[in-house]
């Protein structure tokens, strides 16, 4: 009885505290002012990196749907994309920050994703071969899709505590990859910086100041590599999980 009474008093005092914060406000909605626009290409599908052996809840649903193993010659695939007129295709997902691009001065070995208990999301680093990147682009250019590509924003960093990564982004591999992409004339609508690394992150996060510094670096790389080209691709950031 005593407990119930004190709980009642506690709730009663809370409602007094809440009542004190009530204010009358007037909200004016200016219906003539455009704050932002949603463009015609807001319908988006992601092509992910998950390998066939990514399993959850006793199911391994990914099969051959990844950037690496998707059957690009399937007759219905291009038609399905074309049916959307200009579908946005985002290439990315949880594993994108562990992808190495096999191009330029890559110093580390480039191996396919493998299950690794200690790895981020349970996988090792993975590898995108340029032959495959060529095939993906030949396919996408036929479909008229707009392409957003998520770059490996954890490359060169290290884990400083659970879920938190520090150190500068090593941009060299992304630089060489973008340079290759430009040299081939592949159309990238936008480059995304990391997969949901801002805020609390999903799996991994990078502090705002560090993330901002690396973003300025990436912006400079894009401006430099596309300096004679128009339109320049957009930079998509921050990708966050809040």
Residue 179 DSSP SS3? helix
Nearest to 176 by CA among 116, 85, 101: 101
CB of 37 to ligand NAG, least distance (A): 15
Torsion over CA: 209, 211, 215, 217 (sign):
positive
Shortest approach of ligand NAG to residue 51 CB, angstroms?
50
Q: Is the alpha carbon torsion for 56, 195, 140, 67 positive or negative? A: negative
- Strands 146-151, 158-161: pairing is unpaired
Distance CA 14, CA 35 (A): 38
Q: How far is the CB of 32 from ligand NAG (least distance, A)?
A: 5
**Span near ligand NAG by CB under 6 A; candidates 3-11, 30-38, 42-50, 82-90:** 30-38
Residues ≥6 apart with Cβ < 8 Å to 92 = 46, 48, 49, 148, 149, 150, 192, 195
How far apart, in whole angstroms, are the C-alpha atoms of residue 67 and residue 133?
Answer: 9
- CB closer to ligand NAG out of 33 and 58: 33
Based on the shown chain and the rule CB under 6 A, indicate whether residue 33 belongs to the binding site for ligand NAG: yes
36 vs 107, which CB is nearer to ligand NAG? 36
Judged by beta carbon, residue 34 or residue 216, the one nearer ligand NAG is: 34
Cα-Cα-Cα-Cα dihedral sign, residues 187, 140, 197, 52: negative
Minimum distance of ligand NAG from residue 131's CB (angstroms): 52
- For ligand NAG, the closer of residues 23 and 33 by Cβ is 33
Q: Which is nearer to ligand NAG, 26 or 73 (CB)?
A: 26
What residues numbered 186-225 form the site for ligand NAG, per CB under 6 A?
A: none
Which of 15, 30, 37, 59 touches ligand NAG by CB under 6 A? 30
Site residues for ligand NAG, window 117-156 (CB under 6 A)?
none
| Residue 26 CB, nearest approach to ligand NAG (Å) | 12
Q: What beta strand segments (E) does the chain contain?
A: 44-47, 88-91, 99-102, 126-129, 146-151, 158-161, 164-166, 190-193, 198-199, 205-206, 234-236, 240-241
- CA dist 211 and 201 (Å) reads 12
- Minimum distance of ligand NAG from residue 36's CB (angstroms): 13
The region of 28-36, 67-75, 91-99, 115-123 touching ligand NAG under the rule CB under 6 A is: 28-36
Closest distance to ligand NAG from the beta carbon of 34 (Å): 8
Binding site for ligand NAG (CB under 6 A): 30, 32-33
């Amino acid at each position: 009885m005593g407990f119930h009474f004190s709980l009642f008093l506690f709730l009663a005092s809370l409602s007094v505290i809440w009542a004190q914060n009530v204010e009358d406000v007037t909200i004016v909605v200016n219906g003539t002012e455009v704050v932002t626009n949603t463009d015609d290409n807001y319908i988006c599908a992601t092509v992910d990196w998950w390998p066939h052996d990514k399993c959850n809840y006793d199911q391994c649903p990914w099969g051959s749907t990844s950037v690496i193993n998707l059957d690009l010659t399937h007759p219905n695939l291009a038609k399905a994309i074309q049916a959307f007129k200009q579908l946005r295709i985002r290439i990315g997902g949880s594993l994108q920050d562990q992808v190495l691009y096999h191009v330029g001065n890559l110093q580390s070995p480039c191996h396919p994703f493998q299950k690794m208990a200690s790895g981020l999301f349970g996988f090792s680093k993975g590898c995108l071969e340029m032959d495959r990147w060529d095939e993906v682009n030949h396919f996408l250019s036929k479909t008229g899709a707009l392409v957003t590509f998520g770059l490996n924003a954890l490359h060169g960093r290290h884990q400083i505590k659970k879920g938190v990564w520090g150190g500068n982004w090593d941009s060299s591999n992304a630089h060489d990859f973008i340079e290759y992409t430009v040299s081939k004339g592949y159309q990238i609508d936008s480059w995304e910086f990391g997969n949901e690394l801002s805020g609390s992150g999903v799996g991994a996060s990078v502090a705002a100041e560090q993330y901002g510094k690396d973003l300025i670096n990436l912006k400079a790389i894009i401006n430099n590599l596309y300096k004679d080209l128009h339109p320049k691709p957009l930079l998509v950031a921050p990708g966050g999980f809040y």
